[in-house]
Amino acid sequence: MAAQRRALVTGGSGALGAALCWRLARAGHFVYVHAHRQAAAAEQLVAALRAEGGAAEPLIFDVTDGAGSRAVLEALLEAAPAPIQILINNAGVHEDAVFPGMAPEQWHRVISVSVDGFYNVTQPLILPMIRSRWGRIVNISSVSALIGNRGQVNYAAAKGALNAATRALSLEVASRGITVNAVAPGILSSGMGAAAFDAATIKERVPMKRAGSAEEVASLVGYLVSEEAGYLTGQVISVSGGIAEGPKIMNIGAATSAVQQHEHVLFLTLLELAIIVAAGRIGGIAARRVHQSAAVGEIVIGILLGPSLFGWVAPHAFSFVFRSAPPAPLEILSSLGLILLMFQIGLEFDFTQLARGANRSAVLRIAVACLVLPFASGLSLGLFLPPAGDAHARIDTALFVATAFSITALPILGRIMIDFGMNRSRLGVIAISAAALNDVVGWLLLALITTLTVSNFDARIFGLRVLLVALFALVCVYLVRPTLKRIVRRSGVRPGRLPANLLGALLVVIFLGAMATAQIGIFAIFGGFMMGVILFDEADLVAAWRDRVGDFVAVFFLPIFFTYTGLRTFIGGLDSAGDWGWCVAIVVLASVSKLAGAYFAARRSGFDRAESTMLGFMMNTRALMELIVINVGLDLGVISSKLFTMLVIMAIVSTVITTPVLRLLEKARDTPGASAPPVAPR
């Protein structure tokens, strides 16, 4: 028998809703029977379900009331031992009238119940469902949305919108084990259909010469929410007895239309890329003009290209550029670029600095302080961030906030120190080494937290994934590393020259490593990072990769990732004083915890006040690295879109303030950091 899951059926008190509830209860699921005006009918149905041995509870709220719906559902999630993993959006109303005589309230009421109701119920439940890595959403549509029906323009519009939402949402959540489908009943023998059509009309319009039954619709829904239907998603299935669904876009001249469609998608994707790359260059140049790292300008441009500015100022142009093409090409390019970037970051970690006895204690002290204090601060704050959820959800969110607080943007910090001439000073060496150690531990921590999250706190699954991660690391260090080092040394690589065969071999290894960690369940980027780490001491390879590939990654792939992040960031979504209060709290607490940890650790290591303050601001630089962390969290569904936006703002603020503050501190010092005595090699 299938495992018992929690199911919610909206509009559960009507004839079709009752059939759906019976089907789910008989399959062994715990059913929440929703109703609004027919609370008594819902309670009677619950009593009947319980009398037959089923598990059910009534749930009374108005799906058109966004705040009320969210309050009820969040309270339910907090009290329930498990998330709702089966959702049937069945609520709907008829208010038929020919369109010229349709009153505004008739239009809005029908639209609101189906479309607003879909959002108000599904949106609070989707993140917990994503975290559980399993879910079934079925939206009850109507054949009226497929063929139209006189007197039902409002109803057809509402259910048509539901069909479109079904297809779009299915694309967003398919990789998380969640299916989203719509069922479009035709004329039914019970409920609204029975009153609308007489027997003669049904025989005329329905090829099967009869009305359908609610139980027949429920049977299909029962299959769609089962384990066996895990590969079926994004479909609108008609249960109409053969009623024609009207004209469809047919594949006439298949070869020609396929080529045209391909060219159209290619054109739109190239348009996106041209705008992204050009805007990224402009942002980088502008940032350099105001003495900021180029990456800071690229990040800001990525945010501005999203709904926060471009979509707000020119919504039609924004939709044409970024919403006309399928999202897959941009998402894949963003992921591919991130994998290559993570390889490059791993490759450029300089672990040899930790071997210097004079620096080791200071590096360890600063790295630990800049990891532990921000992590504890982020964890504490994350446990109280809205929206409230179950205990597991709160911990998931808190762990990702803590990791975002802890990280330091090593590549950006390196650029900043070169700009200030600090890369060979003792202060610079210790800062970059502490940041490197901080980030190594941070990435390991992120991998561990990701493993914990996707395991849904299941000790057996978590233990297995940790074991697989450890096995992957051992294979990389003891098998892949020696083999790759031999290949690299025999390839003739040198600064400025990266042989084609070696580049091909590295790309294959990077992609295989990414595939391995993706299959383990901790995201492909960790595989790319690990492949870089095991080759960090191949100086000629590091220099050749930076010269031949690094610029392409920075110029082409990085702006794509920043824009992809910007498209997911909506600053206008922080629409209340409470939201901005939390945002300020995140920025302040993240910065203060990082600054305080670095400052006091540096003072204990013998640095003066100015140097300790400089170290604090350098370690507070987050930028790119935090964006990677929070994108992982958003993909896993453990942070909300609002929290994502707040953390993006924190990443930008903590990075933008670094350069001007360092410039002020440099002026205040008697001896500039650039002239500090270099660290003697040992």
Q: Is the pLDDT of residue 116 over 90?
A: yes
Q: What is the pLDDT of residue 250?
A: 37
Q: What is the pLDDT of residue 676?
A: 43
Decide: 639 and 633 in contact? Cβ < 8 Å. yes
Decide: 33 and 46 in contact? Cβ < 8 Å. yes
277 and 232 belong to one structural domain = no
**Averaged over 616-637, what is the pLDDT?**
83
Q: What is the pLDDT of residue 87?
A: 96
Banded model confidence at residue 432, pLDDT cuts 50, 70, 90: confident
680 occurs within a structural domain: no
Q: Is the pLDDT of residue 674 over 80?
A: no
Last residue of a domain, one of 204, 239, 274: 239
More confident residue, 575 or 87: 87
CATH of residue 59's domain is: 3.40.50.720
Structure tokens at 417: 């120190």
More confident residue, 189 or 140: 140
Banded model confidence at residue 253, pLDDT cuts 50, 70, 90: very low
Q: What is the pLDDT of residue 594?
A: 93
More confident residue, 283 or 292: 283
285 occurs within a structural domain: yes
More confident residue, 259 or 4: 4
156 and 54 belong to one structural domain = yes
CATH of residue 323's domain is: 1.20.1530.20
Decide: 235 and 179 in contact? Cβ < 8 Å. no
Q: Is the pLDDT of residue 59 over 50?
A: yes
469 and 579 belong to one structural domain = yes
Reply yes or no: is the peptide bond before residue 128 cis, omega within 30 of 0.
Answer: no
Average pLDDT, the chain: 83
**Averaged over 349-356, what is the pLDDT?**
58
**Percentage, residues of the chain above pLDDT 70:** 87
Q: What is the pLDDT of residue 356?
A: 56
219 occurs within a structural domain: yes
- DSSP state letters, 244-266: --------TTHHHHHHHHHHHHH
Q: Which of 397, 395, 403 is nearest to 443 (CA)?
A: 403
Place of tokens 């969110």: 397
Structure tokens at 278: 């050009």
Range in 190-199, 262-271, 621-630 with the lowest mean pLDDT = 190-199
Q: What is the pLDDT of residue 558?
A: 86
Host H or E run for residue 140 = strand 135-140
225 and 284 belong to one structural domain = no
Q: Is the pLDDT of residue 463 over 90?
A: no
Per DSSP, 671 falls in state S
Q: What is the pTM of this model?
A: 0.62
Strand ranges (E), 161-249:
178-185, 236-239
Q: Is the pLDDT of residue 682 over 50?
A: no
Range in 218-227, 297-306, 446-455, 654-663 with the lowest mean pLDDT = 446-455
**Averaged over 434-440, what is the pLDDT?**
75
Q: What is the pLDDT of residue 222?
A: 92
Q: Give the dihedral sign, CA 123/125/129/134.
A: negative
Amino acid at 643: L
Beta carbons within 10 angstroms of residue 32's beta carbon: 25
Domains identified in the chain, total number: 2
465 vs 447: CA distance, rounded Å: 10
Buried b (16+ CB within 10 A) or exposed e, 15-28: bbbbbbbbbbbebe
198 and 292 belong to one structural domain = no
501 vs 485: CA distance, rounded Å: 14
Domain that holds residue 152: 6-239
Q: What are 212-244's pLDDT values in tens digits? A: 788 889 999 999 999 999 999 999 998 877 775
Dihedral Cα 483, 485, 488, 492, nearest 10 deg: -120
Banded model confidence at residue 307, pLDDT cuts 50, 70, 90: confident
Which of the given ranges, 240-244, 312-316, 323-327, has the highest pLDDT on average? 312-316
Q: Is the pLDDT of residue 391 over 70?
A: no
Q: Is the pLDDT of residue 392 over 70?
A: no
Structure tokens at 502: 């070696």
φ and ψ at residue 34, rounded to 5 degrees: -85, 145
620 occurs within a structural domain: yes
Q: Please list the residues that pair with 89 across neighbouring strands.
A: 139
Range in 159-168, 325-334, 365-374, 520-529 with the lowest mean pLDDT = 520-529
**Averaged over 653-675, what is the pLDDT?**
73
Q: Is the pLDDT of residue 484 over 90?
A: yes
Instruction: Kindly list the catalytic residues.
Output: 155
480 and 362 belong to one structural domain = yes
Cα→Cα distances 523→58, 334, 506, 528, 557, Å: 40, 13, 19, 10, 18
339 and 291 belong to one structural domain = yes
Amino acid at 383: L
250 occurs within a structural domain: no
Q: What is the pLDDT of residue 597?
A: 93
**Averaged over 41-70, what is the pLDDT?**
90
**Averaged over 200-214, what is the pLDDT?**
75
Banded model confidence at residue 523, pLDDT cuts 50, 70, 90: confident
Amino acid at 430: I
Amino acid at 484: L
Q: What is the pLDDT of residue 128?
A: 87
Beta carbons within 10 angstroms of residue 299's beta carbon: 30
312 and 221 belong to one structural domain = no
Name 381's Cβ contacts closer than 8 Å, sequence gap at least 6.
Answer: 398, 401, 585, 586, 589
681 occurs within a structural domain: no
Amino acid at 440: V
222 and 292 belong to one structural domain = no
49, exposed or middle or buried, with CB in 10 Å at 0-12, 13-18, 19+? buried
Q: Is the pLDDT of residue 425 over 80?
A: no
**Averaged over 414-430, what is the pLDDT?**
69
**Averaged over 411-430, what is the pLDDT?**
69
**Averaged over 258-263, what is the pLDDT?**
67
36 occurs within a structural domain: yes
275 and 216 belong to one structural domain = no
Place of tokens 């027919």: 38
Q: What's the farthest any 2 CA atoms get from each other in the chain?
A: 97
490 and 576 belong to one structural domain = yes
285 and 138 belong to one structural domain = no
**Averaged over 306-329, what is the pLDDT?**
83
**Percentage, residues of the chain above pLDDT 90:** 29
Q: What is the pLDDT of residue 381?
A: 92
Range in 81-95, 306-320, 628-642 with the lowest mean pLDDT = 628-642
Q: Is the pLDDT of residue 245 over 60?
A: no
222 occurs within a structural domain: yes
Q: Is the pLDDT of residue 330 over 90?
A: no
